[in-house]
A and B are shown apart, each in its own frame.
Chain A
Amino acid sequence: MTAAPPTAEWAPSAVQRERLAYRRARGRRSTLVALASTLACAAVAWLALTSAPGWPRVRASFFDPEVALESLPRVLQGLWLNVRVMAVCAVVIVVVALALALARTLRGPAFLPLRIAATAYVDVFRGLPLLLVLLLVGFGVPGLRLQGIPASAVVLGGAALVLTYSAYVAEVFRAGIESVHPSQVAAARALGLTRGQALRHVVLPQAVRRVVPPLLNDLVALSKDSGLISILGAVDAVRAAQIQTATHANFTPYVVAGVLFVLLTIPLTRFTDALARRSGWLGAQGALAGAGPLR
């Protein structure tokens, strides 16, 4: 049998056109089903909520639009403090956590004390409840009456957040570093790179990419836990809402603060997802596996 002459211009056959039409129809149906199912679920949830016997009272004390409007400026002002604490802490945490993670991966007998210290630190601060760390740092450190230590609730609260979160994030980094296959180090060392260079230019870039999703998870958690510094007296969104709640004798400011926190974290998540997709971070391993349209 011989080869047929090359097909010049390909036009879908009748079979293929029918298939495409079927797939389009099915796609449209899927959209409609998704829409209908979403609306139905929302309706059921709404009806269940509003038909509860106590709903009118709950609406009055938790969803009062007037109180919401009046408390919004103060709560927003508080949230600005949360944002600043979060931003500064996040940077410090990443630096400290990376140092801890690297300390734990150091080889060589001379580094033993460093390894032990880093391991002990992670063990202790992952085990201690954040609330306890906040109280101990917030009230214990000023009690030392050391020179040059600021007594500000915001600074001490931020320090407590850094202490706890660094331990968590260090473990995330360490997991990322250890997930990079040893053959990568072997290849780097075979090229003549030192251990440090291999770590800096080969291992860490791959490790950090892999741990971006869990890191973001910790950042979102941090944005909410930054509200805990209110127990030291800092007027953040939670504290501001508390004050407003007392002023108005109405719980609506708490709901306002809650909505603001959610609004704060959603763009954060979407931004990182988009960043990861654009950089091809998520697709890198999928492409290797040769994933097809698995139906």
Chain B
Amino acid sequence: MTRQPQAAETATTLPAPAPDGGAGALLRVRGVRKAFGDHVVLDDLDLDVHAHQVVVLVGASGSGKSTLLRCVNLLEEVDDGVIEVEGRDVTDPRADADAVRARIGTVFQAYNLFPHLRVLDNVTLALRLVHRAPRAEADQRALAMLERVGLADKARAFPDQLSGGQQQRVAIARALVTQPALMLLDEVTSALDPELVGEVLDLLGELKDEGTTMLVATHEMAFARHVADEVVFLHEGRVHERGAPEQVLDDPREPRTQEFLRRFRGA
């Protein structure tokens, strides 16, 4: 389906979410509920992401993957439950949403680059405005990050002069440059042409090897298999199955998971 991420062979197995109630987890989601009108999108959902862990959310469209990510960085307000990032309850209405988001990097399906800014300025914007870095330092860090994603030569270009894969790599650099504790990636390859998917997934595999903590919603099963420490299968806003990728993807125990994967392969 796609090129194999480079991280494939080296994927480490971190301990599965401990039965300790998620103490010490970087991201701790407990009993989260989110409804739009009568439609319950997230239903009493629990999830842990530990430092340096990659958790991949899989499930059909509408299963709640994106909504969960949007709740974590407070683009949506939960209707119940608690989300803790680095031990802080971000769902508390007294929480400073900007401070929470400053610790989280988000990459969107449609890149959401700012079309009026050059690539370099897209990457430095948060450094300068949120983290108050001086211009020279921001530029330096941004260039290093662009180098990291292989796009240093595009720093002066505008987003619409780049391919979709390049734009998404810029978006990843923009999210990473502030050194967030947690990266949220929402179907970041879904808007890409098939031949451009590989370059983005390769980059994510490298980030995993560097120890980046990621919560990833994706339809790329090969990517989930090779990069995930844990695969979480969502259906109608509930976790139906979770575990090591080999277990969930190759030997699913739940009928819902089996059906989903069968349809996915059959397609």
A283 to chain B, nearest CB (A): 15
- A26-B97 Cα distance, complex, nearest whole Å: 16
Total residue contacts A-B, CB cutoff 8 A: 52
Residues of B within 8 A of A26 (CB): 93
Q: Of A1, A4, A19, A292, which is within 8 A of B44 by CB?
A: A4
Q: Of B75, B94, B254, which is within 8 A of A3 by CB?
A: B254
- Total interface residues in chain A, CB < 8 Å: 19
Are B93 and A6 touching (Cβ within 8 A)? no
Residues of A within 8 A of B256 (CB): 3
- A4-B40 Cα distance, complex, nearest whole Å: 16
Q: Of B74, B75, B81, B254, which is within 8 A of A2 by CB?
A: B254
Are A15 and B241 touching (Cβ within 8 A)? no
Contact of B226 with A by CB under 8 A: no
Contact of A147 with B by CB under 8 A: no
Residues of A within 8 A of B254 (CB): 2-3
Measured CB to CB, the nearest residue on chain B to A26 is B93
Segment 30-57 of B: residues with Cβ below 8 Å from A:
31, 33, 40, 43-44
Instruction: Known contacts A13-B31, A19-B91; decide if A292 and B75 are in contact (CB<8 Å).
Output: yes
Interface residues on B, range: 20 to 34
A256 to chain B, nearest CB (A): 48
Contact of B169 with A by CB under 8 A: no
Are A293 and B76 touching (Cβ within 8 A)? yes
Contact of B208 with A by CB under 8 A: no
A121 to chain B, nearest CB (A): 33
Instruction: Known contacts A7-B44, A13-B31, A19-B91; decide if A1 and B77 are in contact (CB<8 Å).
Output: no
Segment 59-94 of B: residues with Cβ below 8 Å from A:
70, 74-77, 79-82, 91-94
Contact of A181 with B by CB under 8 A: no
Q: Of B76, B79, B97, B235, which is within 8 A of A16 by CB?
A: B79
Are B238 and A3 touching (Cβ within 8 A)? yes
Residues of B within 8 A of A293 (CB): 76-77
- A6-B240 Cα distance, complex, nearest whole Å: 11
Contact of A12 with B by CB under 8 A: yes
A169 to chain B, nearest CB (A): 28
Residues of A within 8 A of B31 (CB): 13
Segment 225-269 of A: residues with Cβ below 8 Å from B:
none
Contact of A10 with B by CB under 8 A: yes
Q: Which of B93, B235, B241, B243 has the most CB of A within 10 A?
A: B93
Are B80 and A10 touching (Cβ within 8 A)? yes
Are A16 and B77 touching (Cβ within 8 A)? no
Are A1 and B241 touching (Cβ within 8 A)? yes
Prevailing SS type, chain A contact patch: loop
Binary contact readout A18-30 vs B (1 if CB under 8 angstroms, 0 otherwise): 0100110010000
Measured CB to CB, the nearest residue on chain A to B80 is A16
- A23-B77 Cα distance, complex, nearest whole Å: 12
Q: Of B40, B82, B91, B243, which is within 8 A of A1 by CB?
A: B243
Q: Of B33, B75, B235, which is within 8 A of A294 by CB?
A: B75
Are B92 and A3 touching (Cβ within 8 A)? no
Contact of A278 with B by CB under 8 A: no
Measured CB to CB, the nearest residue on chain B to A12 is B80
- A2-B82 Cα distance, complex, nearest whole Å: 21
Contact of B28 with A by CB under 8 A: no
Q: Of A10, A12, A19, which is within 8 A of B92 by CB?
A: A19
Measured CB to CB, the nearest residue on chain A to B235 is A3
B41 to chain A, nearest CB (A): 13
Contact of B242 with A by CB under 8 A: yes
Contact of A57 with B by CB under 8 A: no
Contact of A145 with B by CB under 8 A: no
Residues of A within 8 A of B92 (CB): 19
A7 to chain B, nearest CB (A): 5
B63 to chain A, nearest CB (A): 12
Measured CB to CB, the nearest residue on chain B to A292 is B75
Contact of B148 with A by CB under 8 A: no
Contact of B253 with A by CB under 8 A: yes
A127 to chain B, nearest CB (A): 30
Contact of B239 with A by CB under 8 A: yes
Measured CB to CB, the nearest residue on chain A to B66 is A290
Are A3 and B240 touching (Cβ within 8 A)? yes
Segment 258-295 of A: residues with Cβ below 8 Å from B:
292-295
Are B44 and A15 touching (Cβ within 8 A)? no
Are B43 and A7 touching (Cβ within 8 A)? yes
A-B contact pairs, 5 of them (CB 8 A): A3-B254, A4-B238, A10-B40, A19-B92, A295-B97
A residues with CB within 8 A of B: 1-4, 6-7, 10, 12-13, 15-16, 19, 22-23, 26, 292-295
A2-B240, A13-B81, A292-B70 provided; 4 other pairs, C-beta below 8 A?
Answer: A4-B44, A4-B238, A13-B31, A23-B93
